[in-house]
Amino acid sequence: MKVAMLGATSGMGRAIAQRLAARGESLFLLGAHEDLLAKSAADLKARHPQQRDCRYAQCDLEHPEQFAAALDAADRALHQFDCVIVTAGMFATQAALEADIELTRRLLTVNFANTIVFCEHVRKRLLARGGGRLVVFSSVAGDRGRKPVALYGPSKAGLATYLEAIDHKFHAEGLSVLCVKPGFVKTSMTAGLKVPPFAGEPGAVADQVIGAIDRRRAVVYAPPIWRLIMFIIRQLPRAIMRRIGI
């Protein structure tokens, strides 16, 4: 594969990039911070000699005006990418979002509107060349309206609905869409938060996501136990959901 990755400098994105590099896929890194991109590209080159041509471009989800130029750079470097993986996004706790309406606006815009706009740029390019793979990280937080993620959850619910819709609409034209729904994973994004049962590790999640890409799955929960957990939560009556704090 020729893969453009948005969010490969940390956490689950970094773990996915390392594994794809190890098996010889061609990578182009996209991200908000040029210094972190440079370090990540240098690390991939040092660990995997076949990645000596790994390049990068700045692409910040808060700045949609960067999207087209960043994807142009990826296309030039990879001679047209055929897979795009989006692990980037924003997270904040419910308490932080309730206390800061501007932070709420930014998070909702980045996770929903701007991520979809980025995916639309990608979709049009992939379909113009006969299809390809689009892999985007949503979250289990979007599966049900819940107290602890009353503001973060809807941003991921909307994104997941979009991904399902374009999978239905464009699958026959060659677009393979994978929506990744992580539960709690131990990354810098969740540092400082209480670690719940069934918390995942970035490496294990990366292995699961790559397996789902190879099998052209449409949805994957990571760690896998979250598929069962969220199935149960989706069945709970609203009256019970009001009483419990999950």
Structural domain span for residue 93 = 2-243
Q: CATH number, domain at 40?
A: 3.40.50.720
Q: What's this model's pTM, rounded to 2 decimal places?
A: 0.92
In order of 149, 155, 225, 243, the CA distances from 238 in angstroms are: 16, 21, 23, 9
How is residue 50 written in tokens?
């076949």
Neighbour order of strands in the sheet with 2-6: 55-58, 26-31, 2-6, 83-86, 132-137, 175-182, 219-222
Q: What's the number of domains the chain is made of?
A: 1
As a whole number of Å, the end-to-end CA separation of the chain is 39
How is residue 172 written in tokens?
């026959």
Query: For every one of its 246 residues, what pLDDT tens digit does the chain have, with 9 covering 90 and above?
Result: 999 999 988 888 999 999 999 999 999 999 999 999 999 999 999 998 888 889 999 999 999 999 999 999 999 999 999 999 999 999 999 999 999 999 999 999 999 999 999 999 999 999 999 999 999 999 999 999 999 999 999 999 999 999 999 999 999 999 999 999 998 776 666 666 666 667 768 889 999 999 999 999 999 999 999 999 999 999 999 999 988 878
